[in-house]
Amino acid sequence: MDIKTQKKNSSKKMNQKKIEQAVRLLLEGVGEDPERPGLKGTPQRVARMMEDILGGTQTDPVKDLEVFQDERHDEMVMIRNIPLYSFCEHHLLPFAGVAHVAYIPKEGRIIGLSKIARLVDTLARRLQVQERLTKQVADILNATLNPLGVMVVIEAEHLCMSMRGIKKPKAVTITSAVRGSFRTNPATRAEAMMLLKGGFPSGKET
Ligand SMILES: [Zn+2]
């Protein structure tokens, strides 16, 4: 699904009643009694929780991305280890990990660091696949900032791989989306990879 389709879908409000009904059915479906004390409040609790954990579905990710002009800044900006929690749309199970986002400003156009973390958060709090989430973060930053380059790397553990199917806990899926000079300039890309691992291009390690 591209951003436009997702945006169009996102105009729909979340329907608490439908979620409650669905959870009740699910409980019945797995052979539980939705009326037993421990489960009585569960449909409402899950419905309220959905507002939070899938709330990005109703949020326009671009809205808050204010661009600043700072002529002095034309070097790489990288935020490492932005925590993320998202949902695999194939199994409705969480995947969780970190995002690393780097960009090189063009003509001094920069963006607040917290806005980048917010962008990751908004796009993660939807039904996703990791590949698309990675691409969306890169494409939105690319379109908003028109920078010299953007690189997004996401590392995540998928519960649908850990607790079901092939049952491989701790397996980490890594996806990347690379645009502009990160793609075309090997030195830039190498510098980014070095920073991403916590090193410094000069060889100094902390
Ligand atoms: Zn899955």
| Model confidence, pTM | 0.88
Neighbours of ion ligand 1 (CB under 5 A): 88, 90-91, 160
81 and 11 share a domain? no
The answer as to whether 33 is a domain residue is: yes
Range with the lowest mean pLDDT among 3-7, 85-89, 198-202?
3-7
Ligand 1 mean position to 129 CA, how many Å? 8
- pLDDT value of position 101: 97
Confidence at residue 202, expressed as pLDDT on a 0 to 100 scale: 55
Find the 82 Cα to ligand 1 centroid distance in Å.
Answer: 21
Which H helix or E strand runs over 153? Answer: strand 149-158
- On whether residue 171 sits in a domain, the answer given is yes
> What residues make up the domain containing 40?
3-53
- CATH number of the domain within which 36 lies: 1.10.286.10
Does residue 162 surpass a pLDDT of 50? yes
Pair (156, 98) in one structural domain: yes
In a domain, 46, yes or no: yes
Q: Is residue 21 part of a domain?
A: yes
Q: Is the pLDDT of residue 204 over 50?
A: no
Cα angle for residues 87, 53, 162 (degrees, 5° grid):
35
- The pLDDT-based confidence of 203 (bands split at 50, 70, 90) is very low
Confidence of residue 169 (pLDDT cuts 50, 70, 90): confident
CATH number at residue 129: 3.30.1130.10
The set of residues, in sequence order, having a beta carbon less than 8 Å from that of 180 and lying 6+ positions away, is 104, 142, 147, 148, 149, 150
Q: Which residues are tagged catalytic?
A: 88-91, 130, 158, 160
- In this structure, the answer to whether residues 111 and 154 fall within a common structural domain is yes
Assigned domain for 142 exists: yes
The mean pLDDT of 57-80, rounded to a whole number, is: 88
Instruction: Report the domain count for the chain.
Output: 2
**Could you tell me if 107 and 188 lie in one domain?**
yes
Residue 57 alpha carbon to ligand 1 centre in Å = 18
Same structural domain, 81 and 156: yes
**Residue 13 confidence (pLDDT) above 50:** yes
Torsion angle (degrees, nearest 10) of CA 155, 159, 165, 170: 50
**Distance from residue 87's CA to the centre of ligand 1 (Å):** 8
Residues 135 and 71 in one domain: yes
At residue 178, does pLDDT exceed 80?
Answer: yes
In a domain, 60, yes or no: no
Examine the domain organization and report whether 182 and 92 are in the same domain.
Answer: yes
Rounded to whole angstroms, the Cα distance separating 70 from 113 reads 14
29 CA to centre of ligand 1 in angstroms: 21
Residue type at 197 in one-letter notation: K
Residues 90 and 171 in one domain: yes
Q: Which of 10-14, 23-27, 43-47, 186-190 has the lowest mean pLDDT?
A: 10-14
Residues 81 and 29 in one domain: no
Kindly report the length of the chain: 206
Average predicted confidence (pLDDT) for the chain: 90
Query: Does residue 99 sit in the same domain as residue 146?
Result: yes
